Structure 1
Amino acid sequence: MNHLAHLLLAGDDEALRLGGLLGDFVHGAPDPALPSRVVLGIRLHRAIDVHTDRHPEVVAARARFEPPYRRYAGIALDLWFDHRLARDFARWSAVPLAAFSDAARELLRRHDALLPPALRRFRAYMEAHDLPAGYARREEIGRALEGVAGRLRRDNPLDRMLPLLVALDAPLQAHFEVFFPQLREFAQAWIEVNAAG
């Protein structure tokens, strides 16, 4: 899943949300100087990613892509599922998408001292593109795919995958409809076991 989903799945706990955003920017063991609940948020992010990659609906969704696209379908689906989540956000959250997105950027501003340089740079991108609310727009997903494609070391087709995602929207939505409620239950259970209190 991508940024919007990780924020939503972290629940109302600010530290878990911050960790959810840090998850893509912290590799290896988190800095021991980070607050313990932020570290838990990073661990939650990683648990969500592992659960997502193994989920039968996500496996089936990836299988809809032919080579050479299938190899990169997981990355594309993370972004596309955030698009579907943003498009129908009122169904998943009582907080309006714009307010939720503003709060996420404000969270990063308030905790600037904890952010690695790459996340500070990404925060500027978030501000410029109204993310994560901007993920509701297909063109923003296209820009994100192009950005990821450019950061990968090997040649890849990510910058050409938006038309495929659009063409597969109906079956991908069907996979998402089954998968996301189960992922939400997984995240809530993980928080109850690992981060309660």
Structure 2
Amino acid sequence: MNYFAHLHIASITNTSWVGNLLGDFPVDVNSLEPDLFAGWRLHQQVDVMVDQHVASVAFRSIPRKGRRRFSGIIQDIAMDYWLIQYWEKFSSVPLTVFCEQAVSGLVMDKNRSPERLANMISSLEGSNWLSSLGTLDGVDRAIHSIMRRWRHGKHLQDFVDDLPNVIEQAEQPFLLLYPDLLDFVDQEMKKAEVTHNPG
């Protein structure tokens, strides 16, 4: 899952908006304040669950020109795309309202964010582009953003060249995976409650 899904999970678990994005940014985990650490930890748990889910394994196994070892990156972005397409299935909050809430929540903790995340939050303040992650152009921009800053970025070009087809391939895996992910997150939050309130 990419930014949008992690923000959705932050909203339904009442955990830190910024904390739930920190898993995608370099941070000193030992220096995180408790609320940020809880969000960071949840992000890590989500990433592991998604990576191991049978639907993710199936998506990565689809024959295509792009290298299998990098297909998980594309899957994360495509999952955001499909979450936005199916938004009303997973949330009663209107998409525009959610995007506003997410940015407001991120801005509150911008001063506790690493520089690259703080810059992204500033970008969202200037123009809230979260909903664009549910468009082909938005997916393209997200992939190119990774390509520019990642030393192996050139290997994602094959996926970009076949982007409409790759996104279509991610629809059924998303529909299989996301309900399971929300159930997983719910169970993890209940475990955390028991740990903090053993009586």
Tell me whether the two structures share a fold, i.e. TM-score over 0.5. yes
Alignment of 1:47-86 (within 5 A): 47-66=45-64, 68-86=66-84
Deviations 1:12-70 (A, max 9, x none): 454433311222124452424x2x12211110001000111111110110111435432
Q: Distance in 1 between matches of 2:173 and 2:15?
A: 30
Q: Assess, with a 3 A threshold, how the Cα gap between structure 1 residues 94 and 30 changes in structure 2: closer, same or farther.
A: farther
Aligned-residue Cα RMSD (Å) equals 2.1
Could you tell me which of 139, 142, 155 is aligned with 2:140?
142
For the 8 Å contact 1:23–1:46, the answer to whether it is kept is: yes
Residues matched between the structures, number: 195
Alignment of 1:19-58 (within 5 A): 19-27=19-27, 29-32=29-32, 34=33, 36-58=34-56
Q: Assess, with a 3 A threshold, how the Cα gap between structure 1 residues 148 and 155 changes in structure 2: closer, same or farther.
A: closer
Letter in 2 for 1:152: W
For the 8 Å contact 1:9–1:188, the answer to whether it is kept is: no
For the 8 Å contact 1:37–1:195, the answer to whether it is kept is: no
Q: Assess, with a 3 A threshold, how the Cα gap between structure 1 residues 144 and 133 changes in structure 2: closer, same or farther.
A: same
1:8 alignment partner in structure 2: 8
Q: Distance in 2 between matches of 1:193 and 1:11?
A: 18
What stretches of structure 2 of length at least 5 have no aligned partner? Answer: none
Percent identical: 26
Letter in 2 for 1:24: D
- 1:184 lines up with 2:179 in the alignment: no
Q: Which has more helix, going by share of residues?
A: 2
- The runs of at least 4 aligned residues of structure 1 exceeding 6 Å deviation read none
Q: Distance in 2 between matches of 1:171 and 1:66?
A: 11
Q: Distance in 2 between matches of 1:49 and 1:143?
A: 22
Q: Distance in 2 between matches of 1:181 and 1:148?
A: 27
2:93 alignment partner in structure 1: 95
Alignment of 1:109-188 (within 5 A): 109-128=107-126, 130-154=128-152, 156-188=154-186
What stretches of structure 1 of length at least 5 have no aligned partner? Answer: none
